[in-house]
Every structure is written in C-alpha cells, then in structure tokens.
C-alpha cells in the first residue's frame, strides 16, 4: 500500500529540481519521524528516552534484534499509517510471522521492547515557522498501551495524571517537536502530520487543527491566526475483532459531559441504538477471555463482570486499565443496581437526578425500573429534571418536594 507520505518523499528530489517549495512540515522532518532508525537517533540526540529498539531490513536481522532485546517485543513497520502490519511477538516464530507481513509493505521495521500495559498519553502540538509552540490538547487512553489508540477509549483532557506529570510530559512534547524542526516515560512515536487523533482533539477543544495547519503551511505565524471555533458496528465481515497495535477502527463516536461517567454513557449510547449504556448485557460470551484479550466488546465485558461481583482490583489485574477509570465505571454499576431495586412508583427524585447526572438515558432508567421510556420521561419532566440531569423549571407542586428530598 502506497500512502501520500510515500509519494511525497519519493518526489522530494524532483520537487527540488523543479524549484517547487513544499509548504508545511519539511519532508526531512517527515522522513525523520517515519523512519524508525532516524527517529530513535533524533530522540537520543536530545536525551529523550525511547524503548530499547533496533531497526531491521530482513527477517533474520529482526530475529537477531529480538534475541538481543529479549522477548516480548513489538514490531513496527516504517512509513505505515494506523499501525499497519505492527504487532507483538512473544517468540521468534511469532516475530518471523509479523515480519513476513511488515516487509510486504515496508522496507524497514523497528523491533522494540514491548511496553504492553503502560499508560498511554498523547499530546497534540502545533508549531509555526517562528518556533512558537502550543499544546492544543492532551489525551489519555483508557486502555493501556497495546491497543492502538484509534481503537481505544480516549479521554480528553487526561484524568489520572498529577499536575507535575502533566506539565513534565507537556514540556517533553514541546521539546521533541522543536528538536524535530509520569515518573518514567518512553516516547513511542511522533506523527509530523494530522492523524485521527487530530480530528478528536479538534472536536474536543473547538480548535480547528486542519485550518490552522493550512495557515501555518502558508507561513502565517500562530500569533496572527484568529482562533475561531470550528463549526464544523459491524462494518466488515470475516475480520478478527482482537485489538492490538494495528488500528482496525473505521469510525469514532465522541461525547462531552461534566463527568467521566456521564460522558462514557453517552458515548456507548451513540454507538448503536441497541446499546443502552454501561449496563448488564448479553453482548459478550466469554467475559474473562474478553478482559484478557480485548475486542471492541471489552467495555460490555467490564459491565458484566461488575454484576458478577468482581472487585476493581481484580479487574485491574486482568486489564491494566487505571483503577481511577474502573472506579468511575463501578459508580455507574452501583446506580444501575439501586435503580433495579426500585419501581417507577417508588423511585425517589434524588435517585432519578443522580442517575441522569451519571449519564443514564431515559431508556436505561426505564429498563432498570421495569417501566417504559415514556413513563420515565414524564416523571422526570414533572419533577423538573431535564435530559442532561440539570434541575430546571419545576412545577410549583413539585418544587418543595424536590428541594426537600435533594
């Protein structure tokens, strides 16, 4: 597969011979970030730590690198988008199998020490021709490293970093970008181009990255660009659903909320009409297998495993998902159980309000109460709670009741 990056790099000499000026990121920088060996050397030049790695141009060289680094390792193909042909190898047999696929699309691979299970943080950095840099957004993967961030649940801004770690990594990201023209961290890669994460960052922050990038490519500095707000499931058969370092996602949903619980519920509901939210379901057959070897159904397995009675610590041991996120998901589960012990006639105003603030849709509340969506909506409107979980105009007959009971 030939990408636009491949074409642009191969036309570099022709551009220069014709006197054509390349706007935006210099081709040399793209080469540095896409060529795994050059990137590792660039990071070493500024004293930034990368995982132990070695480049290879043949399967035998890759196996030799794997032996030196020691398994498990990850194989990354150079000049590949979306983690194409990458994967984890536990031994030489798996490494050769990965290499046979990677070398079919790339002349070079990077064999790198596996950091599977680490926390993955991403910074969206913009730099202009005058060396002004800004970090538009930082994002944190709910899933640990090992699943491509295009397939992971991503939260912006990060939720589990201390202020010190956040700023340390932010400074590191800016220094890396400038050089290319939390306690312990490793730099995985730099994409000197827009990516799927750029679209997410634009939506999350309202900062129009593609528009800004076009202006920067024309030589307009950041301080002269007006920061205007942008105005901006089963798709394929016979494919493996297992998630790894190679991106498989063909789309994304994005939702905003005042809490993580509200936001994750809205995101799940937006995937498909059949998904009520983070609740007990029948979408997963083998829960334990799903937790250890995740597919796109892992979030539904986590919902079920809470119903099984597993603790946050046990789920963390199986998934390596940060306990902060698991605790927030447990809050949703506990509210589901509270609602399931009630009926439409006995449920209190306070519980309805708390459920809505945790992102429970009227359909999900109705499912828990054994009632109908219409009945729940009427009840909610009567007591003055809007669809977002905010207390709005309340009928005078209900105002005193809700104030007293909240």
Residue with tokens 């299970």: 117
User: How far is 299 from 256, CA to CA, in rounded Å?
Assistant: 18
Residue owning tokens 């640990």: 144
Distance CA 247, CA 245 (A): 6
Contacts of 179 (CB under 8 A, 6+ apart): 42, 45, 46
- In the chain, the domains with their CATH numbers are 4-113 (3.30.470.20), 121-224 (3.30.470.20), 260-405 (1.10.1030.10)
Hey, CA dihedral for 27, 113, 135, 203, is it positive or negative?
positive
What tokens appear for 390 in the block? 């905010």
- CA 217 from chain centre, in angstroms, equals 27
Rounded to 5°, angle at Cα 337 from 333 and 339: 115
**Alpha-carbon gap, residue 181 to 42, rounded angstroms:** 11
Stated length of the chain = 406
- β-pair partners for 109: 56, 77
- 296 token code pair: 């796109």
Q: What is the dihedral of CA 26, 31, 32, 38, to 10 degrees?
A: -150
Beta strands in 5-127 (DSSP E): 53-56, 73-77, 87-89, 109-113, 121-127
pLDDT digit of tens for each residue in the chain (406 aa)? 456 777 877 888 787 888 888 777 788 888 887 776 788 788 888 888 788 888 899 999 999 999 999 999 999 887 665 556 688 999 999 999 999 988 888 888 889 999 888 999 999 888 888 888 888 889 999 999 888 878 888 998 899 999 999 999 999 888 888 887 744 456 666 776 667 677 777 777 777 888 888 888 888 888 888 765 434 545 456 667 777 766 766 667 888 898 999 999 999 999 888 899 999 999 998 999 999 999 889 999 999 999 999 999 999 999 999 999 999 999 999 999 999 999 999 999 999 999 999 999 999 999 999 999 999 999 999 988 886 667 655 443 444 443 443 3
Place of tokens 């022709």: 14
- In this structure, what token pair is assigned to residue 89? 């190898």
Maximum CA extent, the chain: 81
pTM: 0.70
Q: Give the CA-trace dihedral at 274, 280, 281, 287, to 10 degrees.
A: 140
Specify whether the CB–CB gap between 95 and 66 falls below 8 A. yes
């Amino acid at each position: 597969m030939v990408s636009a990056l491949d074409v642009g790099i191969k036309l570099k000499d022709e551009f220069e011979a014709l006197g054509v000026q390349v706007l935006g990121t210099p081709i040399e920088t793209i080469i540095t970030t896409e060529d795994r060996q050059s990137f590792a050397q660039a990071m070493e030049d500024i004293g930034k730590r990368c995982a132990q790695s070695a480049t290879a141009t043949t399967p035998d060289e890759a196996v030799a690198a794997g032996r030196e680094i020691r398994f498990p390792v990850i194989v990354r193909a150079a000049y590949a988008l979306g983690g194409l042909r990458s994967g984890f190898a536990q031994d030489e047999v798996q490494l050769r199998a990965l290499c046979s696929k990677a070398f079919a699309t790339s002349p070079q691979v990077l064999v790198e020490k596996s950091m599977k299970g680490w926390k993955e943080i991403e910074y969206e950095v913009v730099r202009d021709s005058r060396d002004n840099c800004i970090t538009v957004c930082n994002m944190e993967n709910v899933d640990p490293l090992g699943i491509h961030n295009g397939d992971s649940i991503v939260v912006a801004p990060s939720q589990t970093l201390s202020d010190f770690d956040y700023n340390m990594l932010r400074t590191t990201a800016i220094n890396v970008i400038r050089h290319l023209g939390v306690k312990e961290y490793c730099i995985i890669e730099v994409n000197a181009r827009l990516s799927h994460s750029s679209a997410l960052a634009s939506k999350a922050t309202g900062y129009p990255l593609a528009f800004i990038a076009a202006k920067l490519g024309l030589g307009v500095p950041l301080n002269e660009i007006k920061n205007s707000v942008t105005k901006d499931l089963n798709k394929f058969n016979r494919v493996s659903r297992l998630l790894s370092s190679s991106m498989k996602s063909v789309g994304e949903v994005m939702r905003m909320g005042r809490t993580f619980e509200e936001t994750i519920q809205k995101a799940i509901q937006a995937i498909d009409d059949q998904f009520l939210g983070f609740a007990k379901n029948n979408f997963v057959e083998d829960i334990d297998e799903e937790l250890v070897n995740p597919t796109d159904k892992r979030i539904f397995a986590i919902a079920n495993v809470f119903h099984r009675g597993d603790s946050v610590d046990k789920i963390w041991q199986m998934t390596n998902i940060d306990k902060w996120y698991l605790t927030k998901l447990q809050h949703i589960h506990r509210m589901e159980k509270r609602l399931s012990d009630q009926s439409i006639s006995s449920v209190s105003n306070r519980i309805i309000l708390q459920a809505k603030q945790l992102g429970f849709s009227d359909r999900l509340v109705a499912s828990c109460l054994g009632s109908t969506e219409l009945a729940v909506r009427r009840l909610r409107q009567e007591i003055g709670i809007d669809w977002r979980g905010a207390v709005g105009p309340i009928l005078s007959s209900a105002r005193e009741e809700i104030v007293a009971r909240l």
